[in-house]
Amino acid sequence: MLAMSEPLTQSAVSPRVSPALELRGVSKSYGGVVANRDVSLQVMPRSIHALVGENGAGKSTLMKIAYGHARADAGEIWIKGERMTRHSVARSIRLGVGMVHQHFMLVGPLTVVENVVLGQEPVRGGLLDLDRAAAEIRALSQRFGLDVDPLAKVEDLSVGQQQRVEIVKVLWRGCDVLILDEPTAVLTPGEVRDLFAVLRGLVADGMTVVLITHKLDEVLAIASVVTVMRRGQRVAELPAAGLTAEQIVQAMVGRPVQLQVDKSPASPGEARLRVTGLHVTSSRGTPAVRGLDLTVRAGEILGIAGVEGNGQTELIEAIVGLRAVDRGSVTIAGRDVTTASVAARYEAGLAHVPEDRHDRALVLDYSIRDNLILGLQRKMVRVLDVLDRKRMSERAARLISEFDIRPTDPGFRVGGMSGGNQQKVVVARELSREGATVLVCAQPTRGVDIGANESIHRRIVEARDRGLAILLFSADLSELRSLSDRIAVLYKGALVATLEGPALAAPDVLDRLGGLMTGATTGAAKAPDASASASGVAS
Ligand X SMILES: Nc1ncnc2c1ncn2[C@@H]1O[C@H](COP(=O)(O)OP(=O)(O)OP(=O)(O)O)[C@@H](O)[C@H]1O
- Footprint of ligand X (CB under 6 A): 30, 33, 35, 53, 55-61, 102, 407, 416-421, 447, 449
Q: Give every strand in the sheet of 327-332, ordered side by side.
A: 287-297, 271-281, 327-332, 335-336
Spatial CA neighbour of 305 closest among 481, 182, 529: 481
Least gap, CB of 89 to ligand X (angstroms): 16
In the bound state with ligand X, the residue whose beta carbon lies nearer, of 70 and 489, is 70
In the bound state with Mg ion, the residue whose beta carbon lies nearer, of 222 and 229, is 229
Question: Which parts of 139-168 interact with Mg ion (CB under 5 A)?
Answer: none
Contact 217, 239 (CB under 8 A): no
CB atoms inside a 10 Å sphere around CB 455: 16
In the bound state with ligand X, the residue whose beta carbon lies nearer, of 54 and 317, is 54
Least gap, CB of 142 to Mg ion (angstroms): 31
User: Contacts from 2-7 at CB under 8 Å and sequence distance 24+?
Assistant: 2/236, 2/238, 2/247, 2/251, 3/236, 3/237, 3/238, 3/239, 4/235, 4/236, 4/251, 5/234, 5/235, 5/236, 6/237, 7/40
d(CA 253, CA 35): 17
- Which of ligand X, Mg ion, none sits in contact with 417, Cβ below 5 to 8 A by type? ligand X
- Which of ligand X, Mg ion, none sits in contact with 421, Cβ below 5 to 8 A by type? ligand X
Contact 188, 475 (CB under 8 A): yes
Least gap, CB of 450 to ligand X (angstroms): 11
Q: Cα-atom radius of gyration of the chain, to the nearest Å? A: 24
In the bound state with Mg ion, the residue whose beta carbon lies nearer, of 97 and 212, is 212
Question: Which parts of 85-124 interact with Mg ion (CB under 5 A)?
Answer: 102
In the bound state with ligand X, the residue whose beta carbon lies nearer, of 268 and 420, is 420
Least gap, CB of 181 to ligand X (angstroms): 7
3-state secondary structure of 350: strand
Amino acid (one-letter) located at 220: L
- Which of ligand X, Mg ion, none sits in contact with 189, Cβ below 5 to 8 A by type? none
In the bound state with ligand X, the residue whose beta carbon lies nearer, of 250 and 283, is 250
d(CA 370, CA 207): 44
- Which of Mg ion, ligand X, none sits in contact with 33, Cβ below 5 to 8 A by type? ligand X
Residue nearest to Mg ion (CB): 60
**CB within 8 Å of 14: residues ≥ 6 apart:** none
Least gap, CB of 175 to ligand X (angstroms): 21
Bond preceding residue 15 cis, omega within 30 of 0: no
In the bound state with Mg ion, the residue whose beta carbon lies nearer, of 60 and 313, is 60
- Which of ligand X, Mg ion, none sits in contact with 176, Cβ below 5 to 8 A by type? none
- Which of Mg ion, ligand X, none sits in contact with 416, Cβ below 5 to 8 A by type? ligand X
In the bound state with ligand X, the residue whose beta carbon lies nearer, of 129 and 366, is 366
Least gap, CB of 535 to ligand X (angstroms): 44
Least gap, CB of 27 to Mg ion (angstroms): 18
H-helix segments, 301-341: 312-320
Question: Which parts of 401-430 interact with Mg ion (CB under 5 A)?
Answer: 419
- Which of ligand X, Mg ion, none sits in contact with 295, Cβ below 5 to 8 A by type? none
Least gap, CB of 34 to Mg ion (angstroms): 15
Least gap, CB of 29 to ligand X (angstroms): 8
Least gap, CB of 239 to ligand X (angstroms): 22
- Which of Mg ion, ligand X, none sits in contact with 444, Cβ below 5 to 8 A by type? none
Spatial CA neighbour of 62 closest among 45, 49, 80, 46: 49
Contact 81, 58 (CB under 8 A): no
d(CA 508, CA 538): 21
CA–chain centroid gap for 484, Å, is 19
Phi, psi of 492 (to 5 degrees): 50, 45
Contact 299, 437 (CB under 8 A): no
In the bound state with ligand X, the residue whose beta carbon lies nearer, of 162 and 418, is 418
- Which of Mg ion, ligand X, none sits in contact with 53, Cβ below 5 to 8 A by type? ligand X
Amino acid (one-letter) located at 76: E
Length, in residues, of the chain: 539
In the bound state with ligand X, the residue whose beta carbon lies nearer, of 55 and 484, is 55
- Which of ligand X, Mg ion, none sits in contact with 486, Cβ below 5 to 8 A by type? none
Our finding on whether 60 is near Mg ion (CB under 5 A) is yes
Our finding on whether 36 is near Mg ion (CB under 5 A) is no
- Catalog residues that contact Mg ion under the rule CB under 5 A: 60, 102, 419
